[in-house]
Chain A
Amino acid sequence: MVRFDNVGLRYGMGPEVLRDLSFTIEPRSFQFLTGPSGAGKTTLLRLILLSLKPTRGLISIFGEDVSRIAGPALTGLRRRMGVVFQDFRLLDHLTTYENVALPLRVQGKEEASYRAEVVELLRWVGLGERMHVLPPVLSGGEKQRAAIARALIVRPELLLADEPTGNVDPSLARRLLRLFIELNRLGTSVVIATHDLALMDQVDARRLVLGEGRLHIYE
């Protein structure tokens, strides 16, 4: 599904922030991406999300060499992924419902065709009563769940979550983790970037540990 071969990344003429990364993410797999703050977790997620290009090495996403594709094909690949940003990135002028429906709307689908699905998902993540509310009114946990729902609505083959439990209390963090595990059980590959050791200890999953620009894998 995702394959990195000797990937390196540097910004401008600076030193390499990521060095010799080689790993794969298999279909239906579940893994944590961890490491200290500033280790490059978000940068690695952006490489997978095709918003950064590596300075060397080979990245293959869904079997496609990303250096050989551009434009509409990149959008096509991105639509097969769901992403949860650390800072949620909900659009403040759209309601929770509209934010969650956004990935379907940008694909040109009619609102009536996805309305039931969006409402169902919102109720599933516990936001059934908050669907008409604008994000500034939502609590941190509600924003987090709205961001997760937005990533899930397209039923992605690969879910990338950047510190998805960083702004919530331990009990909600456990609930969100169960949500990701359920999603993985239904067939989605999940990559959760976190430095929350307590969260990782709750699941026996593969760990990709970034440190000093290099990746160590603990199966």
Chain B
Amino acid sequence: MTFAADSHAPREPEAAQAALEADAGPLPDTLKRNAPLVPAESTAGRALVTVIAILTFLAALAAGAAELVAGASSEWRSAISREVTIQVRPTPQRDVEADVARAAEIARADPRVAEVKVYSKAEAERLLEPWLGTGLDLVELPVPRLVVVQLRQGEEPDTAALKRALAEAVPTASLDDHRLWIARLAAMAGTVVVVALVIVGLVLTAAALAIAFATRAAVAGNREILEVLHFVGADDRFIAREFQARFLKLGLRGGAIGGAAALLFIIATGAVSASWRASPGGDQLEALFGAFEIGWRGYAAVVAIAAIVAGVTAAVSRMTVARHLRRLT
């Protein structure tokens, strides 16, 4: 069947079009031919993008914070665990200088030790100045002497052998491997990381729920399109695919905006903290969080969260449309 009164034989599409254009002039250049079946620009669509962007931003910030604390705590732990301190107590019966020299010698003999620094009496006394003030004569005080031992990079901080050797040769020496500090720091950092990860989980769950509601509202707003597609012979998979593609686009846009805003925020915070570095507060912050950089793993986490949020949007829209189609039939 053809609709032109003077043509009865089927035509090839190109031939038919050429004939048609010869008969009635060319098709308008401005003729829009393949617009998306589900409009991307709508009030519900823009609201959904805003919701996705805000939730992605919050989730990405929480993930960035978790990575920052995890990275900083790992730096603290490795720095502290690579350092042990030998303390030699002065006693009237022993020559403290000889004991210090002997302790340093024993430490240097250990193959896992990279560097040994002996604090002189004057240096040891200077360490007390912050607590006792300057100008005091500490000659009469039995100030312990310190030998700071740096272990080699990558070595297990097992100091038992060193401890035994010291106990045999220098009875007045004791070895502090800071294990208590490390354990406390590890527990604190671990707690902060777990809390941050829980926040990421909660924000992502809230994001999924908010996206589900917003997507349902947007699908409801496009119900007429869905019904028309259904009645003109579109199968359920085609309709679900059209809606999913549209909502994936919205999810990607929202995720990209939220993720980019989070990255900018993290970079800006790093720059601000760098400018504060000279101040006493900045020093403390840097001591706690390092240089305020989240590293490639942090950036990857932000990108992954944006992608997960976009994926959730697409999946929820597909499920919502599928449920609506089931009701329609």
Q: Tell me if A141 counts as interface (CB < 8 A to partner B).
A: no
| Chain B residues positioned under 8 Å from A132 (CB to CB) | 28, 30-32
Q: Tell me if B234 counts as interface (CB < 8 A to partner A).
A: yes
A97 touches B33 (CB 8 A): yes
| Chain A residues positioned under 8 Å from B35 (CB to CB) | 93-95, 98
- Chain B's closest residue to A121 (CB) is B3
A79 touches B233 (CB 8 A): yes
B232 touches A106 (CB 8 A): yes
Q: Tell me if B286 counts as interface (CB < 8 A to partner A).
A: no
Q: How far is the CB of A127 from chain B (nearest CB, A)?
A: 12
A116 CB contact (under 8 Å) in B20, B232, B238? B20
Chain B, residues 1-17, CB within 8 Å of chain A (1/0): the string is 11110000001011011
- Chain B's closest residue to A120 (CB) is B3
Q: How far is the CB of A87 from chain B (nearest CB, A)?
A: 10
A150 touches B16 (CB 8 A): no
- Chain B's closest residue to A78 (CB) is B233
How many residues of B are counted as interface, with CB atoms below 8 angstroms from the partner's CB atoms?
37
| A51-B329, A98-B32, A115-B13 as given contacts; A154 in contact with B233, CB under 8 Å | yes
| A154–B234 CA distance with the chains assembled, in angstroms | 12
| Chain B residues positioned under 8 Å from A155 (CB to CB) | 1
A123 touches B24 (CB 8 A): yes
Stretch at the interface among A12-20, A30-38, A67-75: A67-75
B11 touches A116 (CB 8 A): yes
| A128–B17 CA distance with the chains assembled, in angstroms | 14
| Chain A residues positioned under 8 Å from B3 (CB to CB) | 117, 120-121, 124, 152
| Chain A residues positioned under 8 Å from B171 (CB to CB) | none
A108 touches B238 (CB 8 A): yes
Q: How far is the CB of B24 from chain A (nearest CB, A)?
A: 6
- Which of A107, A114, A152 is most buried by chain B, counting CB atoms within 10 A of its CB? A107
Q: How far is the CB of B313 from chain A (nearest CB, A)?
A: 21
Stretch at the interface among B173-181, B213-221, B222-230, B256-264: B222-230
| A117–B230 CA distance with the chains assembled, in angstroms | 22
- Chain A's closest residue to B2 (CB) is A120
B33 touches A106 (CB 8 A): no
A116 touches B31 (CB 8 A): no
| Chain B residues positioned under 8 Å from A120 (CB to CB) | 2-4, 16, 20
A115 CB contact (under 8 Å) in B19, B33, B228? B33
Q: How far is the CB of B13 from chain A (nearest CB, A)?
A: 5
| A155–B227 CA distance with the chains assembled, in angstroms | 21
A103 touches B20 (CB 8 A): no
Q: Tell me if B91 counts as interface (CB < 8 A to partner A).
A: no
| Chain B residues positioned under 8 Å from A128 (CB to CB) | 24
B13 CB contact (under 8 Å) in A83, A91, A113, A154? A113
| A83-B231, A91-B225, A95-B31 as given contacts; A116 in contact with B329, CB under 8 Å | no
| Chain A residues positioned under 8 Å from B229 (CB to CB) | 102, 106
| A78–B28 CA distance with the chains assembled, in angstroms | 32
Q: How far is the CB of A91 from chain B (nearest CB, A)?
A: 6
Which residues between 234 and 266 of chain B lie within 8 Å of chain A, taking CB atoms? 234-236, 238
Q: Tell me if A210 counts as interface (CB < 8 A to partner B).
A: no
| Chain B residues positioned under 8 Å from A10 (CB to CB) | none
Q: Tell me if A112 counts as interface (CB < 8 A to partner B).
A: yes
B231 touches A78 (CB 8 A): yes
Q: Tell me if B109 counts as interface (CB < 8 A to partner A).
A: no
Q: Tell me if A119 counts as interface (CB < 8 A to partner B).
A: yes
- Chain A's closest residue to B33 (CB) is A111
| A93–B45 CA distance with the chains assembled, in angstroms | 15
| Chain B residues positioned under 8 Å from A70 (CB to CB) | 329
Q: Tell me if B328 counts as interface (CB < 8 A to partner A).
A: yes
Which residues between 47 and 79 of chain A lie within 8 Å of chain B, taking CB atoms? 49-51, 70-72, 74-75, 78-79
**16 A–B contacts from the bound complex (CB under 8 Å):** A49-B231, A51-B231, A51-B328, A70-B329, A74-B329, A78-B231, A78-B233, A89-B227, A91-B37, A91-B225, A95-B35, A98-B34, A102-B229, A116-B11, A116-B13, A124-B3
Q: Which 9 A-B pairs have the closest CB atoms?
A: A106-B234, A79-B233, A116-B17, A116-B16, A124-B3, A103-B232, A75-B235, A93-B39, A121-B3
Known A-B contacts: A102-B37, A132-B28. Give 13 more (CB < 8 A).
A75-B233, A85-B231, A93-B39, A95-B32, A98-B34, A98-B35, A115-B27, A117-B3, A119-B20, A132-B31, A150-B232, A152-B3, A155-B1
